[in-house]
Structure 1
Amino acid sequence: MIRVSFLVTAFWAVTLAVSAQQINAPKELIQTYTSQYKGERFPDGRPRVSDDLVKRLKTISLEEAWGVLRSEGYTNQFEAGWMRINAGQVLAGRVLTAQYMPARPDMENPIKEKGKAENRKGAPNSWPIDQLNENDVYVADGYGKLVDGTLIGDNLGNSIYAKSKTGVVFDGSVRDLEGLEAIQGFTGFVRGFDPSFIKDMLMTGINYPIRIGRATVLPGDLILGKTEGVIFIPAHLAEKVITSSEWIALQDDFGHQMLREGKYTPGEIDMKWSAAIIQTFRDWLKKHPDKVKMTPDQLEERIKKL
């Protein structure tokens, strides 16, 4: 027991020592927090869920994703109450996190010196943007600050979209709304809008775990943002959440059509399906191949469980 405790203490001592020398979270720390994910990663250790899954994520509903996450024990992954940039667009991508805190002089200069040592350019609120890849989403804990809490304006918004082709989620505010809404394809979830410039805020770290409202967010999570709000999906559950949600949507589409046509009764659709309904479902799937996103093996496995 003593040796285990010593090893854990030593691990965190090394982690904190490395952390003190860089803005970005240490690769080892990111891998520790996301250890259940076994797929491809970015060089910095952040999970790299496939672009195909990100694309498919856009088509599922928040309720379906929430239901799967809740069944897995993840009950703190949704947040509502946003103001929208280009409302009506879906936001989907891989999370890159940034942590902001109220400024204090004894921290500000060391952080800026770290940035210089790491050859970072511009103001600290632009540093996370430099690390974005296509299909990434810049997610920032700006502790809800509105006045003087504007994390970006339209200049940085254009840079974000050029790199990511997605948008932002800020527990904080933005400025230049008219300019941001002119960026075709860009969307965002923010707490408000203000004409002020960012002031008295410190960007204290990139790709650390952060809190967004009632949600805990890790770098590499998938994010899905729709009218209701945003949901954060752990990287190791991404495929399960997406395929399960697609399966629910397939059943619902089929069931709704059968009810509209009067082919089956609500009782027949809502209960365990008979062999006749399952065969009708198979025939329906053949006529609607565009609705099926999962592999044939994945689809057959789920049909057998009906």
Structure 2
Amino acid sequence: MNPDVRQKLMGVSTATLCTALFKRGLRNQFLQNVHPLNASLPNMVGPAFTLRYIPAREDLNTIKVFEDRNHPQRVAIETCPEGAVLVMDSRKDARAASAGSILMTRLMKRGAAGVVTDGGFRDSPEIAELGMPAYHSRPSAPTNLTLHQALDINVPIGCGDVAVFPGDVMVGDREGVVVIPAHLAQEIANEAVEMTAFEDFVTEQVKGGRSILGLYPATDPDTRERFAAWRARNGR
């Protein structure tokens, strides 16, 4: 993806991005009940590469299927592009794992920007220590084969009650994950940087005792002047 967009999105919050998306009429872009395994990591930013699970059918989803080199889960791990985010539609069902630490280690070594599922991960403590951003609903020890059958790769999916299309820009922070339609990524990134600068200014003013009235939003005539002076002083 565009390096300028990636760099800008690395420094903004999902909350700010949600507001920028809402201004454009997009209300449902934040994944529900999807949380970071390691909240100390930097933002996750990358285009979506998707994997879709369906309910497992017992006669087709035995332990033997993993011996097939064309198994969709294995293929997704081995073909997810460098810098992309693997996004898994696990039907919001964390009773069985979407993947475990060995596959996630392979994904990390191949250069993925991160991984997201609306289900759960097994070996979640090990995945949390990998250094690759990973988001899930909750830990889940059983293998995915018990309930999930991997089916489609890089197709439109639902994850955490949000539509995710291949190439959409996924951004994760310490709160969760937001989906930015690919065609809006540049303008959303640009606006989010501006919003972040203003909100940092506002936070400093509020900590100094100033009322939010007339400050946030900036309806007082001198607020914009104060903000411009603050930006000049802080190189923002």
Bigger RCO (CA 8 Å, 6+ sep):
2
Q: 1:143 aligns with which of 91, 105, 115?
A: 91
Q: 1:126 aligns with which of 74, 82, 101?
A: 74
Q: 1:194 aligns with which of 115, 140, 151?
A: 140
Counterparts in 2 of 1:169 and 1:260: CA distance versus 1, 3 Å: closer
Cα offset, 1:266, TM superposition? 5.0
Alignment of 1:1-306 (within 5 A): 49-89=1-41, 90-104=43-57, 121=69, 123-147=71-95, 149-183=96-130, 185-200=131-146, 201-258=148-205, 266-267=212-213, 269-270=215-216, 271-272=218-219, 274=221, 278-289=224-235, 291=236
Bigger radius of gyration among the two: 1
Counterparts in 2 of 1:182 and 1:281: CA distance versus 1, 3 Å: closer
Counterparts in 2 of 1:257 and 1:175: CA distance versus 1, 3 Å: closer
Cα offset, 1:194, TM superposition? 2.5
- Equivalent pairs, count: 230
Q: CA RMSD in A?
A: 2.9
- The one-letter amino acid of 2:12's match is I
TM-score computed with the length of structure 1 as normaliser: 0.65
Secondary structure, counterpart of 2:150 in structure 1: strand
User: Which whole-Å CA distance do the structure 2 matches of 1:178 and 1:253 have between them?
Assistant: 34
Cα offset, 1:269, TM superposition? 3.2
Cα offset, 1:131, TM superposition? 2.1
Cα offset, 1:97, TM superposition? 0.9
Cα offset, 1:92, TM superposition? 2.1
- The one-letter amino acid of 2:191's match is S
Secondary structure, counterpart of 1:77 in structure 2: coil
User: Which whole-Å CA distance do the structure 2 matches of 1:226 and 1:237 have between them?
Assistant: 19
Instruction: Name the residue aligned to 1:115.
Output: none
Cα offset, 1:138, TM superposition? 0.5
User: Which whole-Å CA distance do the structure 2 matches of 1:161 and 1:199 have between them?
Assistant: 22
Contact kept in structure 1, 2:37 and 2:124, CA below 8 Å: yes
In percent, how many aligned pairs have the same letter?
25
Query: Structure 2: any 5+ residue segments left out of the alignment?
Result: none
User: Which whole-Å CA distance do the structure 2 matches of 1:57 and 1:239 have between them?
Assistant: 9
Counterparts in 2 of 1:168 and 1:284: CA distance versus 1, 3 Å: same
User: Which whole-Å CA distance do the structure 2 matches of 1:104 and 1:267 have between them?
Assistant: 58
Counterparts in 2 of 1:130 and 1:285: CA distance versus 1, 3 Å: same
User: Which whole-Å CA distance do the structure 2 matches of 1:194 and 1:281 have between them?
Assistant: 47
User: Which whole-Å CA distance do the structure 2 matches of 1:231 and 1:122 have between them?
Assistant: 31
